Amino acid sequence: MRAKRGREREAQLALEAAGMTVADLKSAMRAEEAARLSDETQRLYGEAEAREDTDWLEVTEALQLRVLTAAGVSPERMRAALFLLRCGAQLFPRDEEMQQLSLYVRHNRASAGNLTEGDALVDVPLYTLPNSGGDSAPTSLRKACANGGLPTLVVGGSFT
């Protein structure tokens, strides 16, 4: 119950800091989706990914700033409004409309998985990130964890 009240309080504080209502947030989320899916933005995403000095995240941030500015968010309230736009589904988990409006939630393919402590290590290929200074030859999770029988903690993530 305490966590629920904490999240509700965080959501209310974010709305106040952004000078927005839930209806304003939903409207901004609709505008963001329309802008993201536009031919122009898709072209910008493609151009950004083809370059070395930028990527799609910078295109998205500029788009979000434009959407929120058009919605009347002042520069002083922009950080809070960006937080709301990016975290609305998490801040309002019981709002079904908010869950469907969130592009991130609707298209999220991540899951908690089913591994538990003591499970056998699943071997997967591992690759060094470009410019990380490491050996560029691919390896495997099992090889990377070969540490003389000591316990191993594996933390996963993605890089795109």
Q: Which is it for strands 125-126 and 139-140: parallel, antiparallel or unpaired? A: antiparallel
Task: Note whether residue 112 is domain-resident.
Answer: no
- The mean of the pLDDT values for the chain is 86
With 0-12 CB in 10 A as exposed, 13-18 as middle and 19+ as buried, what is 131? exposed
CA dist 142 and 126 (Å) reads 10
Task: Write the pLDDT tens digit of every residue in 48-75.
Answer: 999 989 889 999 999 999 999 999 999 9
Whether the pLDDT of residue 18 is over 60: the answer is yes
Does residue 139 sit within a domain? Answer: no
Residue 137 lies in a domain: no
Q: Is this prediction's pTM over 0.75?
A: no
**What pLDDT is stored for residue 134 in this prediction?**
61
Q: With respect to residue 82, please indicate whether it lies within any of the assigned structural domains.
A: yes
Contact 48/62 with Cβ under 8 angstroms? no
Q: Within a domain: residue 154?
A: no
pLDDT for 136 beyond 70: no
Is residue 117 domain-resident? no
Question: Among 52-61, 80-89, 118-127, which is the least confidently predicted range?
Answer: 118-127
- Does residue 54 lie in a domain region? yes
Give dist(CA 62, CA 69) in Å, integer: 10
In a domain, 13, yes or no: yes
| Domain assignment of residue 9, given as a range | 2-106
Domain count, the chain: 1
Handedness of CA 26, 29, 33, 38 (dihedral sign): positive
Q: Are 67 and 31 in contact (CB under 8 A)?
A: yes
Nearest partner of 28 among 44, 15, 13, 41, judged by Cα: 15
Angle separating helix axes 22-36 and 56-70, nearest 10 degrees = 140
pLDDT at res. 133:
65
Length of the chain: 160
